[in-house]
Amino acid sequence: MAVAAAMLVAVLISVYLMQFSAGLVQRQRLQAAADLAALGAASYHVQGYGDSEACAVAQRIVAHEPDRAQVQCVVSGDEVTVVATARGVFSWLAPQLKVRAVAGPAP
């Protein structure tokens, strides 16, 4: 009986660690997509395109992320801020992931 209980605890801990790791990977991917989107949008904006065109670039970049993230894009001067929000893989662990990326020309 004690062996079965120990095995059950080990399995439950393993499942939790796998789900936690999957959540971390999802957040890192979302952050990378937001970073790339901010850089792409800032590059477009610095080249003379308008705010809406720059934000459209950010939307297209994050659209390739498999998590179907929602994107908010704000252009302030030469700086572009992208906020990406996606539903967590395991809603009990992290129901919603939200990441922020800022890009613009170097000072």
Q: Encode pLDDT of 27-77 as tens digits.
A: 899 999 999 999 999 999 999 999 999 999 999 998 887 777 889 999 998
Secondary element (H or E) of residue 17: helix 2-46
**pLDDT tier for residue 106 given thresholds of 50, 70 and 90:** confident
pLDDT digits (tens, 9 = 90+) for 81-104: 999 998 877 666 667 889 999 998
- H-type helices in 47-95, by residue range? 51-63
Write down the pLDDT at residue 93: 64
Secondary element (H or E) of residue 75: strand 70-76
Average pLDDT of the segment spanning 11-33: 85
